Structure 1
Amino acid sequence: MIRSVLIGTGSALPARRVSNAELAAQVDTTDEWIVERTGIRFRHIAGEGETTATLARDAALAALSAAGVTAQDIDLIVLATATPDNTFPATATKVQAMLGIDDCVAFDVAAVCSGFLYAVQVADSMLRSGVQRRALVIGAETFSRILDWEDRTTCVLFGDGAGAIVLEARDTPDDATDARARGILATRLHADGRHNELLYVDGGPSTTGTVGKLRMKGREVFRHAVVNLAAVMEEALAAAGLPTDAVDWVVPHQANARILDATARKLSLPAEKVVMTVDRHANTSAASVPLALDQAVRDGRVVAGQIVVLEAMGGGFTWGAAVLRI
């Protein structure tokens, strides 16, 4: 059967790295408070000339290089972001132009922190249809530009960055448990709009005519995240016909170290199987999962043949998981 096989990963971070101590000089917080409650020690903040599109371009170029293909080999770009360069056109089309691709399908997906998982399923469906052959799937954000820097409960949590993968349609064995069956084995997505008020931005073109600022009720988000992430991971593994102990790595959305720990415990997963980069990058929303995946690949932890689960939850609420064999 045709599956979408991951053939390359890449990531990009803004030049400026901001420590907790630097933030503590600006807002009423401390390094100890941030680390204890979130596990975050650093985050990268976009500077002049750095935008969601430029970060996405740099991550895409790194992924193309790792895949050993050129930009001209790409016929689909799906870019997940909640912080586009413009209301329109889609940031994906700006990345397309930056890469020098004259014509390909290019569009954005908006599902906040789950955006990359949504983008993966969309790209996977399109590749398996046989119409496109290679896709760039990107998660990129400049969340620093929608933060209220006077709200110490939210401004310390987020950072900017981008991650990208290259997927290629290939014929693989039907049985997902066959070690030769590489690629995306199963995906599951969910949304529940009844919880909009727990994590949202208080602006938009149709309501206030402004970009707005991020607002969050952290305790409620934490509670939903642990339950939803554990459930959707189990659901995706069941769809792939794989037990939890078949998983080599979980690459979760990097929102909060305590959420990652609690989710692992709920699934009886050893902590050493969970990729964690939240300490270095903070919460980069849709960029979080591909950024963490690329770091794990480049560190030599995630290698060919392994079973990897990607999972995330974000505002909406939206949440999802994908199971793939690298």
Structure 2
Amino acid sequence: MTSDCSSGCEASRTIRADAARLGREIVSLTPLLDAFVPLLAEQAEIQSTASGWTGDPPVFDPEVFCQGRPLLADSGFQNVAPDIPGAAARLLPVMARCFPGLAGDIDALAQALDADPGRAAAELMHMACGDCGEPLRGVAPDTAYFLARECVRPLVRRQAETLSPLFAELPWRFTTCPVCGGHPDFSWFKKVRDDAQYITGHGGPRFLRCADCAAWWRYKRISCPGCGNEEPSRLSFLHSPERPYERVDLCEECQTYVPCLDTTDMIHIPHPDVAALAMLPLEMLARDRGYRPLAALPWSLVLPDASRAA
């Protein structure tokens, strides 16, 4: 537990330090950083001490897995509802300070958790999964979805983290998450000395991160992680000359985009959540051109017509 706590504190410090650096580089992002960095830092600490997957590991057939069936296709994640009240007790005060416009909804949710923690936690679990459960009194549906996702996120991420050794040595060549089947919300290129087929052209292999559980997997560089389109003329990206290592990859076939960080020549690699925050201006430009996120990041709600990942 001490090791986990230390790891969580280190992740929290990394998020805050990287965000402070980003704020000095892009002053216009300061309000967004002030809103989300305390939330991300607290989630990192919760994730480090969460129980993760408990008991026997999920039963799966490695051969079937390698054909494209995610690890938890049959069972899904273990129920995290019992841990939601504890996570919410830490996260709701942070979100109330960071998002004062949601204070009324957050207070109503806190009251619901105090009055009947079991029922409220179960409803939050349903909402986080995109299910239409019974609405919580005094909490707007859109806000409830956002709050539910943020309370559940570190608990599910911890489960995926503890399950990753089960398939670490198995090949996975698909556009969706090997753990839960979710879509990616972020990607990056890494400098890895490897002759694998995934390295094409300049730079390192590409890795995708699941929007739901934050699991990482390796994927082809020249291919849309949404529809698998590999036609170079139908793939492009947006970037700023001032920050050439940041880009948003676009697909003309499915009209989606995914933020991507090229870390191959970077000395300091920022925390992925902070790196994704830095690309908000590029996201907005992609939205203006008619593209939609393959999977929405938490702050995508600040963008016009933000869509949510299913």
Normalised to the residue count of structure 1, the TM-score between the two structures is 0.30
* Structure showing the higher helix proportion among its residues: 2
If asked which structure has higher relative contact order (CA below 8 Å, sep 6+), I would say: 1
> Which structure has the highest strand share of the two?
1
The structure with more radius of gyration: 2
TM-score by length of 2: 0.31
